[in-house]
Amino acid sequence: MDHVVEAGEPQSTGRTVFREAVRADVPALVSLVESAYRGDASRAGWTTEADLLEGQRTDPEGVTDVITGADSLMLVAERDGTPVACCQLERRPGHAYFGMFAVSPLLQGAGLGKQVLAEAERRARRDWGAAEMRMTVISAREDLIAWYVRRGYRRTGRTSPFPYGDERFGIPQRDDLCFELLVKTLGRGSAGADRRTG
């Protein structure tokens, strides 16, 4: 079911509509994720990983696997029928996993990311009964980790190695990359007091 959030950002002229991705969305979602993290286009936003990684961030097969997986989905945020943000949600034993989060670089810093994260938390809690959301973030991304901490996530100090040599995850530009696990309890009202209609 679609969920509508009235957009309050100055750049927005329409509403943000959330829906689950379908196979036809794959090319647009791959392009969106790549634009948020890789290459010169990603530098228009603050989430770029261009100085840490080159190469791809995802591919059509990876996005298709999330869309068609029995315990996963891609949540899409649209404005005027165009995908402007997305994230992966995966049901795992005892928690939900949040990943492949992307916001169009031209819309970053205006509150859309907060809306997407809140909607993902709401759906994980409502649809799967998830009591906790987990994610992994490149530990060198202190600015991004701080953003999640401001939204109630806590640093666990637990890390996992970056998959060096697997170019599906990009080509590292540093030899010290690893992922840090962030966790948030999804209690009542944890998604925040965003404005919703519909």
Q: Return the pLDDT at 194.
A: 37
* Domain at 3-185: CATH architecture: 3-Layer(aba) Sandwich (3.40)
Per-residue pLDDT of 47-58, as tens digits, reads 555 566 555 567
Q: Return the pLDDT at 41.
A: 58
Residue with the bigger pLDDT between 13 and 186: it is 186
- The stretch 152-163 carries a mean pLDDT of 93
Handedness of CA 62, 63, 66, 68 (dihedral sign): negative
pLDDT band at 197 (very low <50, low <70, confident <90, very high): very low
User: With 50 as the cut, is the pLDDT of residue 29 above it?
Assistant: yes
Q: Which long-range contacts (CB under 8 A, 24 or more apart) does 171-179 make?
A: 171/53, 171/54, 171/55, 172/52, 172/53, 173/51, 173/52, 173/53, 173/54, 174/52, 174/140, 176/140, 177/52, 177/53, 177/138, 177/139, 177/140, 178/138, 178/139, 179/136, 179/137, 179/138, 179/139
Per-residue pLDDT of 19-28, as tens digits, reads 999 999 999 9
Question: How does the average pLDDT of the chain come out, rounded?
Answer: 82
Neighbours of 55 (CB within 10 A): 13
Domain boundaries, the chain: 3-185
Per-residue pLDDT of 82-140, as tens digits, reads 999 999 999 999 899 999 999 998 898 889 999 999 999 999 999 999 999 999 998 88
Contacts of 92 (CB under 8 A, 6+ apart): 71, 134
| pLDDT more than 70, % of the chain | 75
Beta strands 95-103 and 132-138, pairing class: parallel
pTM: 0.81
